Each structure stands twice: as structure tokens, then as C-alpha cells.
A and B are shown apart, each in its own frame.
Chain A
Amino acid sequence: MKARVHVMLKNGVLDPQGEAVRHALGALGFEGVNGVRQGKVIELDLDDGATEADVTAMCEKLLANTVIESYSVEMS
């Protein structure tokens, strides 16, 4: 089974890369982009029977730094 983890900087933590992307979109003529936040997606290929709780533990211990990042888990 697979899990997909989305890791994003928390709201309130400045995302200078997202800001740079927003400026670049504006420079290309894309109007109306009010904010860009950039994160990452981590795909895990897991043994059958793995639970969302297992993946959450992985996020807490390693995949996300919860001081600055939030995460969400999708199991499929």
C-alpha cells in the first residue's frame, strides 16, 4: 500500500521560496496570484497492513519538523 505525505510550512512561517514564485508569476503576466506556499510531497511504499498511525509517527519523528512544518497523510 502507499501513503502520500504533504509537508507545508506552517501558516505564519515566512516562505521566501513561495514569495519568489509569486513574484515570478506576476512578472510573467499571471495576475491575481495573491499568495504562493511551497511544500513537499513524500510518497511511501509500505507493507500491507501499515496504518495511518504508523505514517503519522514517521512524520512526527522525521518527515516533518513540527516546529516549522505541518503535514497531512493520505493512505491509498
Chain B
Amino acid sequence: MRAAVVVFPGSNCDRDLAVAFKAAGAEVEMVWHKDSALPQGIDIVGIPGGFSYGDYLRCGAIAAQSPIVKSVREHADRGGYVMGICNGFQVLTETGMLPGALLRNAGLKYICKTVGLKVETSNSDFTNGYNAGDVIDIPIAHHDGNYFADSETIARLQGEDRVAFTYTDNPNGAIADIAGILSDNRRVLGMMPHPERAADAGHGGTDGQALFRALAGALTTA
């Protein structure tokens, strides 16, 4: 598996994500937001958490217009894999690569804690290391994680089995408890919780490891 991790000004989970990819056996290249092309032969692009461009205008809005994200979109259009975590999920919704948007948390507070996530589908190369219905403990750390989409979009996501994770105890007001969703080809994942922060025994939990290992398994044989 060859992974690229995008670095925006204000990204702060980029190195954590790179470490998690490497621990699963990936070769990782960091890619700067002003680069206009991804390195050759990249299987998956990781868009990390943080506060790209200071969250100016809207979370992820400026990053979505950056040169590298154009290449990320082309990569996805070619059937490449993309994973956006936290701010990365916000960037993916701002580009339109995933539907919906992330609103301010319903309780208005920044929330930083470990939450229970229910794996809603094991039918993706991100989630097939889990069983549907598994509950895993993964940290969240966000102010704008309240997933919103219109009722038709929610029905479509649910009908097409594209809700990857839901919260067991909704912390932020997200509609239908949604914590993470998949694209229609199931190769783009956006999620607010941070699996890369639960990928090493030193983190206090390793429930995120299975996600990176599943990806490595799928993309090594590809």
C-alpha cells in the first residue's frame, strides 16, 4: 500500500495518520497543499484532521479549493481510495466528494473524548476488518462534527449501505447519529472520529488498527 497524506497549513493530525499507515505496512509520502500533483502510484490519499487554513470561512472550505485537492478529486474519479478524518471529512464534503455538511456541534462545545462507534457496514475496504454491529472505542476531537444532509440524502446513504459508522451515544447532534459515510463506489470514507488516535497500545486503545490493517490488506493485493 502506498499512501499520501496531505498537509495543509493548520493540519495537526498529519503525522499521526502517517504513523498509523506505516504501522499497517504502508509506504507514506507527505504531500504539501500547494503541490498540484500526487506522487505516482499512490493507492490511498489521507486527508488529516486539524484546522486547515484556520477554519476560515467554513471548516474545510479553503482547503477544498487548494491545488492538491484537485488532484485528490481526480484520484478518486479514477477509482482511487481517499480517507478524510475530522477536518479531512469536512474538506471532502466541501468538495462535494461526499454529500452533506458538518455543522457546529449542537451543544456548541468543542468535544474531545473517546466515544462508542457502531460499525454499520463491513462492506468496504475500510471496514471489513470489523463485523457489522461491532462497537468500537475511538476518540473524537471537534467543534463542527454535527453531520447534516437533507432527508433524501440520508435515506439514500442508508438505503445504499453507505453509513460506515454511527455514534452509540450521539455527542454532537449529528443527524441519524452518523459519524462516517462512504462514497457510492465505497472507496472514499469520511469520518469525524480519529482511528489514527486508537492505533497503538500507547494510545490507550487499539480499536482503530483494524481499519488500517483492512486497507493494507485490500491495497497490497490490488
> Chain B interface: which size bin?
10 to 19
* B65 contacts A by Cβ under 8 Å: yes
Please measure, in the bound complex, the distance between the C-alpha atom of A63 and the C-alpha atom of B148, giving whole angstroms: 19
Interface string of A26-70 (1 = CB under 8 A from B): 000000000000000000000000000000000001110101100
CB-CB < 8 A to B214: which residues of A?
Answer: none
When the two chains form their complex, are residues A20 and B101 in contact, meaning their CB atoms are under 8 A apart? no
When the two chains form their complex, are residues A16 and B108 in contact, meaning their CB atoms are under 8 A apart? yes
* A17 contacts B by Cβ under 8 Å: yes
CB-CB < 8 A to B61: which residues of A?
Answer: 62, 65
Please measure, in the bound complex, the distance between the C-alpha atom of A63 and the C-alpha atom of B64, giving whole angstroms: 12
CB-CB < 8 A to A9: which residues of B?
Answer: 103
* B93 contacts A by Cβ under 8 Å: yes
> A-B contact count, CB below 8 Å?
36
Q: Which chain B residues in 159-202 approach chain A with CB under 8 Å?
A: 173
When the two chains form their complex, are residues B65 and A16 in contact, meaning their CB atoms are under 8 A apart? no
Number of interface residues of A (CB under 8 A): 12
Q: Which chain B residues in 100-116 approach chain A with CB under 8 Å?
A: 100-101, 103-108
Please measure, in the bound complex, the distance between the C-alpha atom of A54 and the C-alpha atom of B150, giving whole angstroms: 28
* B149 contacts A by Cβ under 8 Å: yes
When the two chains form their complex, are residues B106 and A68 in contact, meaning their CB atoms are under 8 A apart? no
When the two chains form their complex, are residues B105 and A67 in contact, meaning their CB atoms are under 8 A apart? no
Please measure, in the bound complex, the distance between the C-alpha atom of A64 and the C-alpha atom of B61, giving whole angstroms: 9
The residue among B100, B107, B148 with the most chain A CB atoms within 10 A of its own CB is B148
Please measure, in the bound complex, the distance between the C-alpha atom of A61 and the C-alpha atom of B149, giving whole angstroms: 19
When the two chains form their complex, are residues B65 and A62 in contact, meaning their CB atoms are under 8 A apart? yes
* Closest B residue, CB atoms, query A61: B65
When the two chains form their complex, are residues B104 and A67 in contact, meaning their CB atoms are under 8 A apart? no
* B57 contacts A by Cβ under 8 Å: yes
* B58 contacts A by Cβ under 8 Å: yes
Q: From residue A17, how far is it (CB to closest CB) to chain B in Å?
A: 6
* Closest B residue, CB atoms, query A67: B101
CB-CB < 8 A to A14: which residues of B?
Answer: 103, 106, 146, 173
* Closest A residue, CB atoms, query B172: A16
Q: From residue B157, how far is it (CB to closest CB) to chain A in Å?
A: 14
CB-CB < 8 A to B107: which residues of A?
Answer: 16
When the two chains form their complex, are residues B100 and A62 in contact, meaning their CB atoms are under 8 A apart? no
When the two chains form their complex, are residues A17 and B101 in contact, meaning their CB atoms are under 8 A apart? no
Q: A16-B107, A16-B108, A62-B65 are in contact. Are A67 and B173 (CB under 8 A)?
A: no
Instruction: Supply 10 further A-B pairs (C-beta < 8 A) apart from A65-B101, A67-B101.
Output: A9-B103, A14-B146, A14-B173, A16-B105, A16-B107, A17-B104, A62-B65, A67-B99, A67-B100, A67-B148
- For the complex of A and B, list the 5 residue pairs with the smallest distance between their C-beta atoms, beginning with the closest: A67-B101, A68-B101, A16-B108, A16-B106, A16-B104
Interface positions of B (Cβ within 8 A of A): 57-58, 61, 65, 93-94, 99-101, 103-108, 146, 148-149, 173
